[in-house]
Amino acid sequence: MIGFTRALVLLHRTFRRHPLAQRVHILGRFLTAPFLRTLGLVPVGARVLDVGAGHGLLARLLVEERASEVVAVDPDLRKILTAWNDPRVRFVAGFDPCIRGTFDAVTVYDVLYRLSPQDRDALIARMRDRLEPGGILVIKDLDPGARIKARWNRMQERVADFFHLTAGNYGENDSPEAMRGRLERAGFDEIEQRRIDNGYAHAHIVYVARKRYHRQA
Ligand SMILES: C[S@@+](CC[C@H](N)C(=O)[O-])C[C@H]1O[C@@H](n2cnc3c(N)ncnc32)[C@H](O)[C@@H]1O
C-alpha cells in the first residue's frame, strides 16, 4: 500500500499547478484525515463512485493504488472546475442524482454531516442504488462520542461555514448507532465500523456496508 511519503509526492505532482490557497487546503485535508488507512477497504480493480469528492484527493490515491476508475462528483464548482487530468478519473460538477450506472464501491468521505438528517437517509438510499449487488459503501465520518475531539471539529466546521469554504452546512455527526440505523434502513448488510483516529486530532471513524445480492422480502 502507498506510504506517506510516496502519497505526499504524488499529491504534490497532481496539485502543484493549483492556486496556493487550494494547495494548502488539500495538504491540510491529507495531513488531518487518515485517507491512507482506508484505501485497503476498496477492492483492487474496483469501479468507484466518490460522492462529495472535493478536489479529488481520495480519487487520486484510489486510482494509484486500488481502483480501475473513479467517477468523482461534487457540487462545489470552485473545487471541481480546477480538476486535474487522468484518463481513469471523471470529474462531474453536480449532485449525485445526476450519476447513472452502477459501481463496485461508493465512497463518501466527510460529506454526510453537511446534510440534514433526512437528506442523509436519502443519499445513503441512492448510494445503494448506485452499487452492484455485493458492492460496498465506505463512509468516512467523525464520531461525536469522542467529546474533546468532537468539540475541536465543531469549531473548525463553524469557521469553514462562516467563510463559506465548503458547500452545505455543518450539522452534528451521527453517532455510530444512528449511522448503523441509517445503513440498515437502506438495506445494507455486513455493516462494520472502526475508529481510525489514532494519532489524529479528529475522531475519524469509517463505516463499511455491503449491498445484499438479493433484497429480502
Ligand atoms: C469536508 S469536504 C470533503 C471532501 C472530500 N470528500 C475529502 O475527503 O477531501 C465536504 C465535501 O462535500 C461536498 N458536499 C456538500 N454538500 C454535498 C451534497 N449535498 N452532495 C454531495 N457533496 C456535497 C462539498 O462540496 C465538499 O467538497
Query: pLDDT of 163-197, one tens digit each?
Result: 777 767 777 899 999 999 999 999 999 999 999 99
Look at residue 215 in the predicted model and tell me its pLDDT: 57
Query: pLDDT of 27-86, one tens digit each?
Result: 999 999 999 999 999 999 999 999 999 999 999 999 999 999 999 999 999 998 888 999
pLDDT tops 80 at residue 217: no
Give yes or no for a contact between 67 and 37, defined as CB atoms under 8 angstroms apart: no
Q: Is residue 217 part of a domain?
A: no
Domain that holds residue 31: 4-211
- Indicate yes or no: pTM above 0.85: yes
Location of C-alpha cell 475531539: 149
Q: Cβ(114) to ligand 1 under 6 A?
A: yes
- Residue 98, CB-side half-sphere exposure with 13 Å CA sphere: 12
Query: pLDDT of 94-141, one tens digit each?
Result: 999 999 999 999 999 999 999 999 999 999 999 999 999 999 999 999
Look at residue 170 in the predicted model and tell me its pLDDT: 73
Alpha helical stretches, state H, the chain: 4-15, 20-32, 57-65, 77-80, 117-129, 147-162, 176-185
Angle at 109 between CA 194 and CA 215, to 5 degrees: 75
pLDDT tops 60 at residue 147: yes
Give yes or no for a contact between 83 and 54, defined as CB atoms under 8 angstroms apart: no
Q: Is residue 35 part of a domain?
A: yes
Q: Is residue 77 part of a domain?
A: yes
Please give the tally of structural domains in the chain.
Answer: 1
Q: Is residue 38 part of a domain?
A: yes
Look at residue 195 in the predicted model and tell me its pLDDT: 97
Alpha carbon of 147 to ligand 1 centroid (Å): 24
Q: Cβ(54) to ligand 1 under 6 A?
A: yes
Q: Cβ(56) to ligand 1 under 6 A?
A: no
145: CATH: 3.40.50.150
Alpha carbon of 54 to ligand 1 centroid (Å): 6
Give yes or no for a contact between 53 and 73, defined as CB atoms under 8 angstroms apart: yes
Look at residue 151 in the predicted model and tell me its pLDDT: 78
CA distances from 205 to 171, 178, 189 (A): 17, 13, 18
Look at residue 216 in the predicted model and tell me its pLDDT: 55
Distance CA 215, CA 63 (A): 31
Chain-centre distance of CA 194, in angstroms?
15
Q: Is residue 159 part of a domain?
A: yes
